[in-house]
Amino acid sequence: MSTGSSSDGHPFRVGDILRLGGAAARAIAALGVTLAPENRLALSLRVVEEASRSPAHTLAKQLDAQQSIIEAFLVSYVARRTRKLELAGKLRALLHGTLELSRDLDSRARDEQFEVFVWALLELAGLGLVTAEEPDFVVSSRRSRIGVAVKRLSSSTSLSRHVKKAAKQMSRHGVDVGILAINVDVPLRRHDGDRDKYISSIPEQVELLLSKITRDHRIEAVVVVGAIPRVAQNGLPSLNYVLSTRLLQVPEEDQSRTTASFNALGSRIRERVERAVAEGIANG
> pLDDT tens digits, residue range 230-273?
776 666 677 777 878 788 865 555 555 545 556 667 778 888 98
Q: What is the reported pLDDT for 47?
A: 93
pLDDT at 180: 94
Neighbours of 208 (CB within 10 A): 12
What's residue 259's pLDDT? 54
Q: Beta strand 219-231 with 237-247: parallel, antiparallel or unpaired? A: antiparallel
Q: Is the dihedral of CA 66, 67, 71, 72 positive or negative?
A: negative
End-to-end CA distance of the chain: 44
Could you list the mean pLDDT of each consecutive 10-residue stretch along the chain, which spans 284 residues?
A: 42 83 92 86 92 81 90 92 80 80 83 91 89 92 89 92 91 86 91 86 90 79 85 70 76 54 71 91 85
pLDDT for 33 equals 87
C-alpha distances in angstroms, 282 versus 32, 122, 157, 198? 23, 24, 41, 34
- CA–CA dist 182, 5 (Å, integer): 15
Return the pLDDT at 166. Answer: 92
Mean pLDDT of the chain: 83
The pLDDT, as a whole number, for residue 10 is 53
Q: From the CB of residue 234, how many other CB atoms can be counted at a distance below 10 Å? A: 7
Q: List phi, psi (to 5°) of 157.
A: -75, -10
pTM, whole model, 2 decimals?
0.87
